[in-house]
Structure 1
Amino acid sequence: KRIYRLAIYVLVLITIIKMDSLFLSGYYSVFMITPYQKEAINGLLLSDGHVRAPKGNGNSRMEFTFKVSVLDFINWIKFDVLGSICTKSPPTPYPKSSPTQYWFGTRQLPFITTLHGLWYTLNPLTGKYIKIVPSIVAEAFTGVTLAFWIMGDGFWEANDKTVLLCTESFTEDEVDFLISLLKSELGLVAGKKARGSGYRIRFSRLPDNITRLRDLTLPHMHPLMIYKLGL
């Protein structure tokens, strides 16, 4: 029994040492998500980011598509912001002969499968998944989140002199929830503006509100996207 227990102890010790070695070598840390990445991912998923679940077994991955004119921005997202969970291959042009947009996906990872469960619900009528706004988004809702949200799905309304967010795909309750988060977490005043059968989020154009909006987001904006703040 003593020999058996000693053998088990040695095996456990060897396993721990190997795991520590792998961690220190960066093997496990490659897929660790930083607070900054978590905040950025929330913003990207609030906009045009998509989580795709595999048809069979395996983990989900995030996917992004942007117009060809912002390739520098796409490369920044893929290699700088999300580099630890992406491959080194360049974004894919589409169509190949005369591309109008670029696409890239992250690696398929367990935590992204978890994201799919949080951000999507199955429509029983169509049998397809639809994106929702999970309450957990409040846990990482910062200026970084808002910056990536605006870069993905926001625009500067010149006539109104303010920023609008395209949230028509969300329900009215979800839009109201996001407006409340903007106020409680970031101190920003916003309302909703009807657009077709949905609603967009419109920031109050009062000077103090716009100044605060820019102060919170500008440090995290890619140069190609600063125009979305009216600058």
Structure 2
Amino acid sequence: MKDVKSMVVGKVLGDAGIKKGKDGAGLGIRHSISQHEYVFETWLRFKDAGLVEKQPSLYRSRRSEKDRYTYNVGFYVPVSQELAFVNEWQDESGVKILPGNIEELLDPEALAYWIMDDGQMGSLKPGTNIVTGGLTLCTDNFTHEEVAILIDVLSRKWGLKTTPNKKGANLRIYFSRASMPTLAELVSPYMHLSMMNKIRH
């Protein structure tokens, strides 16, 4: 099996859903149809690793009768022993949690996939390509304590300056503009071309 562990770590930190199994774990991957190129590249890596065969599918949904339909594309990675380590990311009730060895697991490739899944780029100065803010990671699925751990890991491993930003009852991780050059150097080798705008500075 080709090594996809770092990619899996980044995607579980991001949007991937976890399916526990007796013989391992599986993953559900789904993104907006506008990100179909990124989804297909991710699927190819899982396919090359021998973990998936069925191609990505198109999904249509809406939250209520008054809402317009939204379209997503995604795929399911069947339960396998190779993904068994992902079971540590979920408690008995199915809630996503941070594993105790996150500092060991989080490397530049994992960080890149986390950003591609959950990163929101800084805003642009009107009429220009000048970025006026840093990057935000939407960490809404994690507790305040877990966000604090992630911020500490990012600081100690790479010296990245981040702060917790409140979003409703949740916290999100904001990368300062000063950290963006370092962040971009770390993750750009692993970023899909369609996602490079998230790390521009």
Under TM normalisation by the shorter chain, which class is it?
Answer: 0.7 to 0.9
Tell me the equivalent position of 2:58: 93
State the shift of 1:62 in Å. 1.1
Q: Gapped runs of 5+ residues in structure 1? A: 1-31, 123-127
**Cα distance in 2 between the residues matched to 1:152 and 1:82:** 19
**Cα distance in 2 between the residues matched to 1:107 and 1:43:** 18
Tell me the equivalent position of 2:129: none
Query: Structure 2 residue aligned with 1:224, among 194, 197, 200?
Result: 194
TM-score normalized with structure 2 length: 0.84
Deviations 1:175-231 (A, max 9, x none): 01000110111221111011100100001222xx21101111111100111111136
TM-score normalized with structure 1 length: 0.74
The equivalences for 1:31-50 within 5 A come to: 32=1, 34=3, 37-50=4-17
Deviations 1:129-176 (A, max 9, x none): 100111222112111111100000011121651000001221111001
**Cα distance in 2 between the residues matched to 1:121 and 1:195:** 24
Tell me the equivalent position of 1:199: 171
State the shift of 1:99 in Å. 7.4
Query: Structure 1 residue aligned with 2:86, among 97, 100, 115?
Result: 115
**Cα distance in 2 between the residues matched to 1:136 and 1:33:** 22
Judge conservation of contact 2:98–2:142 (CA < 8 Å) in 1.
yes
The equivalences for 1:73-152 within 5 A come to: 73-80=38-45, 83-95=48-60, 100-116=71-87, 118-122=88-92, 128-152=93-117
Instruction: Name the structure, 1 or 2, with higher relative contact order (CA <8 Å, separation 6+).
Output: 2
Judge conservation of contact 2:2–2:48 (CA < 8 Å) in 1.
no
Is residue 2:37 matched to residue 1:72? yes
Further displaced range: 131-140 or 80-89: 80-89
**Cα distance in 2 between the residues matched to 1:217 and 1:76:** 16
Q: Gapped runs of 5+ residues in structure 2? A: 62-68, 125-131
Task: Name the CA shift for 1:172/1:33 in 2 (closer, same or farther; >3 Å).
Answer: farther
Normalized per residue, the structure richer in strand is 2
Query: Structure 1 residue aligned with 2:152, among 161, 167, 180?
Result: 180
Tell me the amino acid that sits aligned with residue 84 of structure 2: T
Tell me the amino acid that sits aligned with residue 119 of structure 1: W
Tell me the equivalent position of 1:165: 137
State the shift of 1:53 in Å. 2.2
Number of positions where the alignment pairs a residue of Structure 1 with one of Structure 2: 187
The alignment-based identity, stated in percent, is: 25
Q: Determine helix, strand or coil for the equivalent of 1:106.
A: strand
Normalized per residue, the structure richer in helix is 1
**Cα distance in 2 between the residues matched to 1:137 and 1:184:** 13
State the shift of 1:77 in Å. 0.3
**Cα distance in 1 between the residues matched to 2:177 and 2:8:** 27
After TM superposition, the runs of 4+ consecutive aligned structure 1 residues lying more than 3 A away are none
Say what the alpha-carbon RMSD is for the aligned residues: 2.1
Task: Name the CA shift for 1:171/1:82 in 2 (closer, same or farther; >3 Å).
Answer: farther
Tell me the equivalent position of 2:183: 213
Tell me the equivalent position of 2:127: none
Deviations 1:104-151 (A, max 9, x none): 1113212423421x10112xxxxx310011122211211111110000
